[in-house]
Amino acid sequence: MEKLILRRVDRNNEEMILNFGPQHPSTHGVINFIVETDGEVLRKAVPDVGYLHRSIEKIGESTGYHGFMPYTDRIDYVAAMFPNEGYAMVVERLCGIQVPKRALYLRAISTELCRIASHLVSIGTMTMDIGAFTPMIHGIRERETINDLIEALCGARLTYNYHRIGGVAFDLPEGWRDKTLAFLDHFDKFLVEFDRLISFNEIYIKRLANVAVIPGPMAVDYGLSGPNLRGSGVDFDLRKAMPYGVYPEFEFDVPVGKGMFGQVGDCFDRYICRTREMGESSKIVRQALDLIQQAPEGDIVAPKVARNLKVEAGEALSRVESARGEMAFYLVADGTNRAWRVRTRTGSFTAMGIIEAISPGLMVADLVALIASLDVVAPEIDR
């Protein structure tokens, strides 16, 4: 602990050290923040991660290529489609597997629905951290419908294990398209209602605007990605910048923080980026549901992917725009049926790095808002 704090707090001054976590209602899992405070004002907050380390990357070296897929669900259990997709993509890249078009559409549909679900949790918990309980339950309510849809699609509500190396596991179930379209119609109305309920509430704006401002260059320096980076006004989205899958076919905007009620890069910008991104994801799902009808039914997985997959020696990298920023999988294969090294780069881990730099001068309540606005999820930090 003392190493993290770097200096012992003088007993005679008015600072105190506070262990903000690992069991704390607003750390979103088991993360510890060692906080130096002077009354309500923070001197510094140092994140202390590692409480949820399950050595998932190491497990990737001991299970087969197919067998690692369910483990990737556990990297980010709030948005489990993204690690699924990232891992499938890296193996496909290494083996040179061509994924059928229909599978790519299914991947886009499932991941974008998952992005909505993940952002609903994120903004919901954020409103709860700010003190409003009702919007959080409303967000969870909408997520429940998405969970039902994904459950009908792949059989699980949280750890989907839907993507496969070379495609996806299941085709669309009967009637699923209509149900999804009906939900999206409802969801667009919900977004308007949610904005009226909480987003533009005066107290909420006052709590978030001009709080924990991360300027664009600083966000780039610290390697932030995803909505955290875009909230700082940097227009970088892997779906646009380095398109993968079928994303070039879709028309959608990338919401960027504009400093709606304060400086660019404050907590409110990161929050509003997420709410707007949900609307864009809803657009993408609609387009994908239209385009998928052109792809032949049942062609959802590449033929001749061996069950006991052996991968030629080599290395590959895949980058996916996850709900929490860029998720990259780096794989080194040595010609056997197991990976030599699997490495994951996650958005939450890099987001933790910036907290120490941003925290001085914030208040205790602002730290909660900062953590919530960075949308960190503990398993993604520690893997």
Partner 1 sequence: MMTFTEYAGSFQKTAVSFWHGLSITMSHLFRRPMTVQYPDRTPLPVRDMLPPRYRGFLEVDTAICTGCQACERACPIACIQITLEKDPANPKQRLVTQFDIDEAKCMFCGLCVEPCPTGSIQHTREFEGSVANIRNLVFRWSDPVKPFPVYRVEKGAEYFARAPLGSLVRARLEAARWNAAAVEYLPPEPPAPAVAPVPAAAPAPPTPTNPETK
Partner 2 sequence: MATTPKRPPLSPRAVVLITLIVGVALPGALFALILVLSAATKPLVVEALIRKFAEVDPATWPYTTLVSWGSVVVLALILLTFGAVISGMTVWWEMRVSARMQSRIGYNRAGAAGFFQWIADAVKLLFKEDLIPAEADRMLFRVAPYFVMTGFALTFVALPFGESLIAADLNVGIFYLVSVTALVVVGILLAGWSSNSKWALFGGMRSAAQVVSYEIPAGLATMVPILMAGTLSMQGIVRAQGAWPWQWFVFTNPAATVAFAVFFIAQLAEGNRTPFDLPEAESELVAGYLSEYSGFRFAIYFLVEFGNLWVMGAIAATLFLGGWQIPGVGPEVYAAAKGAGALPAPGWWGLQALSMVVMVVKTLVVLNLIVWVRWTLPRIRIDQMMTLCWKYLVPVAFVTFVFTLLWQVLVARQPALSTISGWVMFAGFVVVTLLFARQTRANIAAAGDHVDMTNW
Binding residues for partner 1 (CB under 8 A): 62-64, 66-71, 73, 134, 141, 144, 148, 151-156, 159, 161, 169-170, 173, 193, 196-198, 200-203, 205, 307-308, 310, 336-338
173 binds, among partner 1, partner 2, none (CB under 5 to 8 A by kind): partner 1
Find the shortest distance in angstroms from Cβ 357 to partner 1: 30
Which residues of the chain form contacts with partner 2 (CB under 8 A)?
Answer: 16, 18, 24-26, 39-40, 127-134, 137-138, 141, 185-186, 189-190, 192-193, 197-198, 201, 203-204, 206-207, 363-366, 368
Q: Could you report how far apart the first and last alpha carbons of the chain are, in Å?
A: 22
Contact 76, 327 (CB under 8 A): yes
Chain-centroid distance, C-alpha 200 = 24
305 binds, among partner 2, partner 1, none (CB under 5 to 8 A by kind): none
Nearer to partner 1 (CB atom), residue 68 or residue 250? 68
Looking up tokens 């229909």 gives 102
78 binds, among partner 2, partner 1, none (CB under 5 to 8 A by kind): none
* Closest-CA residue to 347 (of 324, 329, 328): 324
Nearer to partner 2 (CB atom), residue 108 or residue 136? 136
192 binds, among partner 2, partner 1, none (CB under 5 to 8 A by kind): partner 2
Looking up tokens 């105190």 gives 16
Looking up tokens 């497990």 gives 59
What distance in Å separates the CA atoms of residue 351 and residue 324, rounded to the nearest whole number? 9
Find the shortest distance in angstroms from Cβ 155 to partner 1: 4
What distance in Å separates the CA atoms of residue 164 and residue 88, rounded to the nearest whole number? 6
What distance in Å separates the CA atoms of residue 243 and residue 157, rounded to the nearest whole number? 28
Nearer to partner 1 (CB atom), residue 169 or residue 372? 169
Distant-in-sequence, close-in-space partners of 295: CB < 8 Å, separation ≥ 6 = 100, 101, 102, 105
82 binds, among partner 1, partner 2, none (CB under 5 to 8 A by kind): none
Find the shortest distance in angstroms from Cβ 51 to partner 2: 17
Nearer to partner 2 (CB atom), residue 88 or residue 198? 198
Find the shortest distance in angstroms from Cβ 321 to partner 1: 25
Find the shortest distance in angstroms from Cβ 295 to partner 1: 20
Nearer to partner 1 (CB atom), residue 294 or residue 308? 308
364 binds, among partner 2, partner 1, none (CB under 5 to 8 A by kind): partner 2
